[in-house]
Chains A and B, each alone.
Chain A
Amino acid sequence: MLSDIILGFERAVSLDALLFCFIGVTIGTFVGVLPGVGALAAVSLCLPLTYYLDPTVALIMLAGIFYGAQYGSSTASILLNVPGTVTAAVTCLDGYPMTKQGRAGLALFVTTICSFVGGSIAIVLMMGFTPLIARAALSFSSAEYFMIMALGLVVASTISSGSQLKSLAMVGFGLALGLVGTDLNSGVSRFTFGQIELYDGISLVPIAMGLFGVAEILNSIQASGTRTLNATGISFRSMLPTRAEWKSIVGPTLRGTAIGAGIGALPGSGATVATFMAYAAEKRRSKTPERFGKGAIEGIAAPEAANNSAVQAAFVPTLSLGIPGDALMAFLLGAMLIHGIVPGPRFLTDQPEMFWGLVASFWIGNVLLLVLNIPLIGLWVRMLSIPYNILFPAMLFFICVGVYSIEYQVFDIGLVILFGLLGFLMNRLGYPPAPLLLGFILGPMMEEHFKRSLLMSRGSFSIFWERPISAVLLVVILLLLALSVRTILKDRRKPADDTA
Chain B
Amino acid sequence: MSDDPTETAGPERAGAWEYGAAAALVLLGGYMILEGLGFGVGTIRRMGPGFFPVAVGVGLAALAVGILSELRRGGVSRLNAPIRPLLFIIGSLVVFAATVEPLGMIPATILLVLIGSFADRSMTPLRAAISAVALAILGYLVFILGFDLPLNAF
Measuring CB to CB, which residues of chain A are less than 8 angstroms from any residue of chain B?
35-36, 38, 49, 52, 82-83, 86, 161-163, 165-166, 168-169, 172-173, 175-176, 179, 183, 185-186, 188, 190-191, 214, 216-223, 388-390, 392-394, 396-397, 400-401, 404-405, 408, 410, 413-414, 416-417, 420-421, 424-425, 427-431, 433, 443, 447, 450-451, 454-455, 458-459, 461, 488, 491-492, 496-500
* CB–CB A410/B47 < 8 A: no
Q: A401-B109, A431-B21 are in contact. List 13 more A-B contacts (CB 8 A).
A: A179-B53, A186-B39, A217-B119, A396-B92, A400-B108, A410-B97, A417-B93, A429-B76, A430-B5, A430-B76, A447-B52, A459-B44, A500-B6
Interface string of B30-51 (1 = CB under 8 A from A): 0010010001100111111101
Measuring CB to CB, which residues of chain B are less than 8 angstroms from any residue of chain A?
1-7, 9-11, 17-18, 21, 25, 28-29, 32, 35, 39-40, 43-49, 51-53, 56-57, 59-60, 63-64, 66-67, 70, 73-76, 79-82, 85-86, 89-90, 92-94, 96-98, 100-101, 105, 108-109, 112-113, 116-117, 119-120, 122-123, 127-128, 131-132, 135, 139, 143, 147, 149-151
Q: Taking the nearest CB of chain B, how far is it from the CB of A243, in angstroms?
A: 38
Other-chain residue from A83, A172, A183, A492 in contact with B63 (beta carbon distance below 8 A): A172
Which of chain A's residues have a CB closer than 8 A to the CB of B35? Answer: 190-191
Closest A residue, CB atoms, query B45: A459
10 tightest Cβ-Cβ pairs between the two chains A and B? A459-B45, A172-B60, A389-B120, A413-B97, A183-B49, A169-B63, A188-B49, A496-B73, A221-B85, A162-B6
9 residue pairs from A and B, CB less than 8 Å apart: A86-B1, A162-B6, A217-B119, A396-B93, A405-B143, A410-B100, A416-B93, A427-B5, A443-B56
Which of chain B's residues have a CB closer than 8 A to the CB of A433? Answer: 1
Closest B residue, CB atoms, query A446: B52
Other-chain residue from A183, A223, A496 in contact with B2 (beta carbon distance below 8 A): A223
* CB–CB A454/B79 < 8 A: no
Closest A residue, CB atoms, query B113: A393
Which of chain A's residues have a CB closer than 8 A to the CB of B40? Answer: 186, 188
Q: Taking the nearest CB of chain B, how far is it from the CB of A413, in angstroms?
A: 4
Closest B residue, CB atoms, query A497: B11
Q: Taking the nearest CB of chain A, how far is it from the CB of B21, in angstroms?
A: 5
* CB–CB A396/B73 < 8 A: no
Which of chain B's residues have a CB closer than 8 A to the CB of A190? Answer: 35, 39, 49, 53
Closest A residue, CB atoms, query B74: A496
Which of chain A's residues have a CB closer than 8 A to the CB of B59? Answer: 172
A430–B70 CA distance with the chains assembled, in angstroms:
13
* CB–CB B113/A396 < 8 A: yes
* CB–CB A389/B147 < 8 A: no
* CB–CB A405/B149 < 8 A: yes
Which of chain B's residues have a CB closer than 8 A to the CB of A492? Answer: 70, 73
Closest B residue, CB atoms, query A212: B1
Other-chain residue from B21, B96, B101, B149 in contact with A429 (beta carbon distance below 8 A): B21
* CB–CB B28/A425 < 8 A: no
Other-chain residue from A86, A188, A397 in contact with B109 (beta carbon distance below 8 A): A397
Interface centre among B3, B47, B63 (most CB of A within 10 A): B63
Q: Taking the nearest CB of chain B, how far is it from the CB of A401, in angstroms?
A: 6
Q: Taking the nearest CB of chain A, how far is it from the CB of B49, in angstroms?
A: 4
* CB–CB B6/A499 < 8 A: yes
Which of chain A's residues have a CB closer than 8 A to the CB of B5? Answer: 427-430
Known interface pairs A428-B5, A428-B81. Does A499 touch B17 (Cβ–Cβ under 8 Å)? no
A357–B64 CA distance with the chains assembled, in angstroms:
45
Which of chain A's residues have a CB closer than 8 A to the CB of B151? Answer: 401, 404-405, 408
Other-chain residue from B76, B80, B89, B100 in contact with A218 (beta carbon distance below 8 A): B89
Closest A residue, CB atoms, query B64: A169
Known interface pairs A429-B76, A451-B47. Does A176 touch B1 (Cβ–Cβ under 8 Å)? no
Q: Taking the nearest CB of chain B, how far is it from the CB of A395, in angstroms?
A: 9
A173–B32 CA distance with the chains assembled, in angstroms:
11
Closest A residue, CB atoms, query B29: A172
Known interface pairs A404-B100, A417-B93, A454-B45. Does A428 touch B56 (Cβ–Cβ under 8 Å)? no
Which of chain B's residues have a CB closer than 8 A to the CB of A447? Answer: 52
* CB–CB A388/B17 < 8 A: no
A397–B128 CA distance with the chains assembled, in angstroms:
13
A87–B53 CA distance with the chains assembled, in angstroms:
34
Other-chain residue from A216, A392, A425 in contact with B116 (beta carbon distance below 8 A): A392
Which of chain A's residues have a CB closer than 8 A to the CB of B17? Answer: 425, 428-429
* CB–CB B66/A165 < 8 A: yes
* CB–CB B67/A176 < 8 A: no
Which of chain B's residues have a CB closer than 8 A to the CB of A455? Answer: 45-46
Which of chain A's residues have a CB closer than 8 A to the CB of B97? Answer: 400, 410, 413-414, 417
A416–B59 CA distance with the chains assembled, in angstroms:
26
Closest B residue, CB atoms, query A413: B97
* CB–CB A220/B2 < 8 A: yes
Known interface pairs A169-B63, A172-B60, A397-B112. Does A217 touch B46 (Cβ–Cβ under 8 Å)? no
* CB–CB A221/B119 < 8 A: yes
